[in-house]
Chains A and B, each alone.
Chain A
Amino acid sequence: MVNRMLKLSNVNSYYGEVQVLKDLSMEVNQGEIVTLIGANAAGKSTLISCISRTVTSFDGEIEFEGTRIDRLRPDQVVDHGLIQVPEGRLLFPKLTVRENLELGAYSKRSRSNRKERLEYVYNILPKMKERANQMAGSLSGGEAQMCAIGRGLMADPKLLMFDEPSLGLAPIVVLEIMELIKRIRNEGMTVLLVEQNVRQSLKLADRAYVIENGRILMEGNGRDLLNSNEVKKAYLGI
């Protein structure tokens, strides 16, 4: 029995005069890794920002665990356990790695457990423990991404949304990040992954949506899409 976690119905979003998302509907079930692929400026990041409510210029319905969340403040969305690891990491550069991680547990849902959460994150990302007292601004790209993911995990997420986690990273680090995402799912969290690295994310995903010009073009099982001619042609250059 599938347990639907996140459901978007007929979402339209506007950036000034331009319509970025067009009548977009999709869903994420509990325990899944769902990936959203598409070219630059297809609307993927906007979609994630609408869910997090850092973009507010949209209409349509967004439900999380059966509750409407499309009128909440961003911090209230976080309270529900719907957490975003943003594009470009957006760490706090002049705070230490440890302070960055701790702020991940700022919301009501995890604030009182922040010691345990920190232990948990250090356990999954031992590198962050080594770097704990270093300014986040001094981390390498891969470490910064680890820190951003750790900060997301601090919030005790039910659903973790990744926006371009592999952006600007060396291929070997990308593999590490993908392994980490798989592990996160295996620990019981649900994952929504926005990626430009189509091959890697389709390999990882249970289901995928292809988004183009703000619309869902295709949807299906990750493996199937990886082998579909359209995806091969448009995104894998084969």
Chain B
Amino acid sequence: MEQILQVLISGILSGGIYALASVGLALIFGVVGLVNFAHGEYLMLAMYFAYWLYNMAGMDPYQSLLINLAIMAVVGYITFKVIMERVLDSDHSIQMLLTLALSMVLQNLALMLWKADYRNIRIDITNDTMNLGFLTLNTPRVLAFIIAIGASVLLYLYLQKTFTGAAMRAISQNGKAAQLMGINIKKTYGLAFVIGTTLVGLAGLLLSPIYPAYPTVGASFSTLAFIVVVLGGLSSVPGAIVGGLLIGVIESFAGYFAGAAYQQAAYFLLFILVLIFKPNGLFGRS
């Protein structure tokens, strides 16, 4: 029983990161209508930025967090201005090919610049644990969870409670009407894109003390984020939060009962089942 609980908590802790890595994708899809296959690459970039800031400036990922987020926002903005803005009115297929190409370019750029080596950040906190009754929890994972869920909930509140947030929801429901309200939709698209890439970057930063950076680290998170977002009903931020937690738990239990090799298979199986039986997502309405 205690072990089951440990497995559950461990799954929830990972799930928090998955949720954070996915909410940005849901936001970008919901508001901009863009399917971004390069989403995970921003997580990869953030991990490398954290690594280099640690190695060259001696700042651990928590100390460099704000600098790193600012860098991610700038990177997101440049991507939007230089690339995404040109295809906003294009076909979905064109957008997909473009973001897929962007993901390859970024992966190979990372490979060229930084080689395929695994880059680990080993700081004092990396192996710290905290005890909660009989549970033993890895401190950076707990920290990552708290910050990740905090940031995801903040995004939700931003969308629900602020005027710009309402404008984003309005755009996702009817872009033409939003324009007639005097909303500059291109500007709002840009803002949503920057928020999305910054949040997935934050997920990378939180992972960096416990997970190595390498050029294709983002790809697995892209796939994962897509599954989470589909589970959550595509454009729903709360759906992505719940979906992320769910995937974390499933992965954790599959690993415990069936072995690590089955972790991915388990959530892909769930994904296929959902697509067959509830194609609008677990929380989506038809």
Q: State the A residues within 8 Å of B (CB).
A: 52, 54, 73-75, 78-79, 83-84, 86, 90-95, 99, 102-104, 106-109, 111, 151, 155
Contact = CB atoms under 8 A, between A and B. Distances in A.
B163 to A, nearest CB: 7
A90 B174 contact: yes
A75 B182 contact: yes
B176 A94 contact: no
Contacts of B167: 103, 106
A75 B183 contact: yes
Contact of B177 (A75, A92, A109): A92
Interface residues on B, range: 10 to 19
Contacts, number: 66
Nearest to B170: A92
Interface in B169-216: 169-170, 173-174, 176-186
Contact of B183 (A83, A86, A106): A106
Contacts of A93: 173
Given A52-B179, A92-B169, 6 more contacts: A74-B182, A91-B177, A93-B173, A94-B173, A95-B169, A106-B167
A74 B173 contact: no
Given A106-B163, A106-B167, A54 B176 contact: yes
A205 to B, nearest CB: 23
A151 B166 contact: no
A93 B184 CA distance: 20
A106 B180 CA distance: 10
Interface of B: 163, 166-167, 169-170, 173-174, 176-186
A17 B143 CA distance: 60
Contacts of B163: 102, 106, 111
Given A78-B182, A106-B183, A95 B177 contact: no
A79 B180 CA distance: 10
Contacts of B183: 75, 103, 106
B170 A79 contact: no
A222 B226 CA distance: 58
A83 B178 CA distance: 12
Nearest to B184: A75
B180 A83 contact: yes
30 contacts: A52-B179, A54-B176, A54-B179, A74-B179, A74-B180, A75-B182, A75-B183, A75-B184, A75-B185, A79-B182, A83-B180, A90-B177, A91-B174, A92-B169, A92-B170, A92-B173, A92-B174, A92-B178, A95-B169, A103-B166, A103-B178, A104-B181, A106-B163, A106-B167, A106-B182, A107-B181, A107-B182, A109-B182, A155-B181, A155-B182
